[in-house]
């Protein structure tokens, strides 16, 4: 049995108890920052490593080589490209310094949230988030309720604004599988509705808090300074990253390299190398004073890399079960997903707790297997777009939008939170974020999206 068939058989055989380490990882992220914040921030990498090691040791001991191949495939084909891309965008964006005299008023904050939303589709959610997060923090240095704007920044710049182009996870996975580059423009009505709704809710809430804080006394009417952008050479490196993604996708049908049962194309390897080179060039050509002014440190990236290593590894058995379709132990869930609304919510809820990239991939493949069983992925994608376009819209919108529901829905969420806390902003914990912000604000939006586009 070859590697891919062995892993498919593994997904059908895996019992539900195989996801226990993943549940433990999620509970650690949700509970430990509340009950033991000092221990969590000092040892989050070790906790992540514990759950990842437990998952690997348990699965390999029980299921042998197919389980090892599955973990290796997740690490090499999903986690490493993911963290390379996130790291490069973090470094490059950290080399661009925006200065000016934004005052942190509800109007100026709303304008910056809109800018972040639009930039997210031009440079990816990670790039847009890292470019604007520090200017937004500086603009609100005199505000008391700063967490509000940072949470909405996560909603918009780190997630929903990235719906129009496949320049990063999760939509890049569809592009790599054959979805046309500009197909995602079909999500424009969905995105405009979401952005308009969220900006309206934010402006109303921040206006209330602004008046309550009497912020007019907090911001002295000093000399106004025009906005300036420094480190513009990093725009070249950002374009290099985008070019690498496009080149890697175009070379998907190229030579395939096999090792230890893991398959990679030459295009994927070249893509990752170019992305790394762009990051190195950015560090070399960016003056140190720009990084100092930006408050650039490696800690947010290190924290995200460590935590998401645990998330990616421990969720591997869960994804294997899902991708086994109706033959797996979550077959009841796969069989229940029939209509566009089902795909929107199923992909979305899974994105909230599995990271939106693998959740997108799981339901994307499940849909192809359901409608075109036995057909190759690229051939099936063409028919899928023609015959069932609304289903792909539902999967795409669910993955992008619901990624904002929790901190682990996407890597930029954690990065924004980490940078905000480094700057002294008291961000809500995992559960507080969901109960106080995301469910009350986002659930009505998701219901409206369902009624208008997917029923």
Task: Name the more confident of 258 and 299.
Answer: 299
pLDDT band at 280 (very low <50, low <70, confident <90, very high): very high
Lowest-pLDDT range, 11-20, 118-127, 210-219?
210-219
pLDDT tens, position by position, 148-177: 999 999 999 999 999 998 876 788 778 767
**Range of 169's domain?**
3-454
- pLDDT score, position 275: 93
Mapping DSSP to helix (H, G, I), strand (E, B) and coil, where does residue 258 land?
strand
Q: Average of pLDDT values for 420-431?
A: 88
- At 423, phi and psi to the nearest 5? -90, 5
Q: Could you give the CA distance from residue 50 to residue 25 in angstroms, rounded to a whole number?
A: 9
Q: Could you give the CA distance from residue 450 to residue 455 in angstroms, rounded to a whole number?
A: 6
Tokens linked to 414:
């954690």
- pLDDT score, position 222: 41
Q: Average of pLDDT values for 83-89?
A: 86
pLDDT band at 252 (very low <50, low <70, confident <90, very high): low
- pLDDT score, position 77: 83
Q: Average of pLDDT values for 230-249?
A: 86
- pLDDT score, position 220: 44
- pLDDT score, position 393: 95
The sign of the CA dihedral 356, 362, 363, 364 is: positive
The sign of the CA dihedral 380, 382, 383, 388 is: positive
* Percentages of the chain per state (helix, strand, coil), in multiples of 5: 80, 5, 20
Q: Average of pLDDT values for 387-406?
A: 94
pLDDT band at 341 (very low <50, low <70, confident <90, very high): very high
- pLDDT score, position 109: 93
Using the predicted structure, report yes or no on whether residue 131 has a pLDDT greater than 90: no
DSSP-assigned letters across all residues of 78-105: IIHHHHHHHHHHHHHHHT-EEE------
Lowest-pLDDT range, 48-57, 65-74, 189-198, 207-216?
207-216
Using the predicted structure, report yes or no on whether residue 246 has a pLDDT greater than 90: no
pLDDT band at 375 (very low <50, low <70, confident <90, very high): low
- Most distant pair of Cα atoms in the chain: their distance: 73
Q: Average of pLDDT values for 71-84?
A: 86
Among 12-16, 36-40, 352-356, 377-381, top mean pLDDT goes to 12-16
Q: How many domains does the chain have?
A: 1
Q: Average of pLDDT values for 369-383?
A: 74
Using the predicted structure, report yes or no on whether residue 219 has a pLDDT greater than 50: no
Sort 266 into a burial class: Cβ within 10 Å, 0-12 / 13-18 / 19+. middle
Using the predicted structure, report yes or no on whether residue 134 has a pLDDT greater than 70: yes
Tokens linked to 236:
């070249």
Using the predicted structure, report yes or no on whether residue 278 has a pLDDT greater than 90: yes
Using the predicted structure, report yes or no on whether residue 3 has a pLDDT greater than 50: no
Number of residues written out for the chain: 455
pLDDT band at 13 (very low <50, low <70, confident <90, very high): confident
Using the predicted structure, report yes or no on whether residue 217 has a pLDDT greater than 70: no
Q: Which residue has 């008291």 as its token pair?
A: 426
pLDDT > 90: percent of the chain: 36
DSSP-assigned letters across all residues of 336-399: H--SHHHHHHHHHHHHHHH-HHHHHHHHHHHHHHHHSTT--HHHHHHHHHHH-HHHHHHHHHHH
Q: Which residue has 């940078």 as its token pair?
A: 419
- pLDDT score, position 2: 47
pLDDT tens, position by position, 193-203: 999 999 999 99
Tokens linked to 205:
């809430």
Q: Which residue, among 32, 214, 223, 234, has the nearest Cα to 130 in the 3D structure?
A: 234
- pLDDT score, position 181: 78
- pLDDT score, position 438: 94
pLDDT band at 285 (very low <50, low <70, confident <90, very high): very high
pLDDT tens, position by position, 320-335: 887 776 777 777 777 7
pLDDT > 70: percent of the chain: 90
Q: Could you give the CA distance from residue 364 to residue 386 in angstroms, rounded to a whole number?
A: 15
């Amino acid at each position: 049995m070859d590697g891919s068939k062995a892993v498919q058989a593994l997904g059908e055989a895996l019992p539900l108890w195989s996801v226990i380490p993943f549940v433990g990882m999620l509970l650690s992220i949700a509970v430990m920052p509340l009950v033991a914040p000092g221990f969590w921030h000092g040892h989050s990498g070790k906790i992540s490593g514990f759950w990842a090691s437990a998952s690997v040791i348990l699965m390999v001991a029980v299921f042998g080589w197919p389980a090892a191949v599955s973990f290796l495939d997740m690490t090499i084909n999903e986690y490493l490209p993911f963290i390379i891309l996130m790291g490069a965008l973090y470094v490059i964006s950290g080399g661009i310094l925006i200065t000016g005299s934004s005052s942190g008023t509800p109007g100026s904050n709303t304008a910056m949230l809109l800018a972040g939303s639009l930039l997210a589709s031009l440079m990816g959610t990670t790039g847009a988030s890292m470019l604007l997060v520090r200017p937004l923090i500086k603009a609100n240095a005199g505000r008391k309720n700063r967490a509000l704007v940072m949470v909405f920044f996560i909603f918009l710049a780190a997630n929903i604004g990235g719906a129009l182009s496949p320049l990063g996870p999760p939509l890049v996975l569809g592009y790599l599988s054959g979805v046309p580059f500009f197909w995602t423009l079909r999500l424009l009505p969905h995105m405009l509705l979401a952005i308009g709704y969220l900006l309206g809710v934010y402006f109303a809430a921040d206006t209330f808090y602004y008046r309550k804080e009497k912020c007019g006394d907090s911001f002295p009417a000093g000399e106004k300074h025009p906005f300036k952008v420094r480190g513009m050479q990093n725009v070249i490196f950002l374009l290099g990253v985008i070019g690498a993604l496009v080149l890697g996708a175009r070379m998907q049908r190229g030579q395939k390299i096999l090792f230890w049962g893991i398959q990679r194309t030459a295009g994927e390897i070249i893509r990752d190398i170019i992305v790394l080179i762009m990051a190195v060039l950015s560090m070399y050509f960016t003056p140190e004073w720009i990084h100092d002014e930006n408050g650039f440190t490696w800690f947010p990236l290190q924290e995200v890399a460590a935590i998401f290593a645990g998330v990616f590894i421990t969720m591997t058995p869960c994804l294997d079960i899902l991708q086994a379709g109706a033959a797996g132990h979550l077959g009841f869930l796969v069989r229940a997903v029939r209509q566009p609304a089902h795909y929107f919510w199923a992909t979305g809820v899974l994105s909230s707790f599995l990271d939106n990239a693998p959740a997108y991939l799981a339901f994307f493949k499940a849909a192809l297997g359901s409608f075109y069983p036995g057909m190759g992925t690229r051939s099936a994608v063409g028919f899928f777009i023609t015959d069932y376009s609304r289903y792909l819209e539902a999967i795409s919108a669910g993955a992008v939008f619901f990624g904002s529901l929790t901190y682990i829905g996407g890597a930029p969420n954690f990065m924004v939170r980490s940078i905000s806390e480094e700057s002294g902003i008291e961000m809500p914990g995992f559960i507080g974020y969901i109960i106080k912000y995301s469910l009350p604000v986002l659930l009505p939006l998701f219901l409206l999206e369902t009624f208008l586009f997917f029923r």
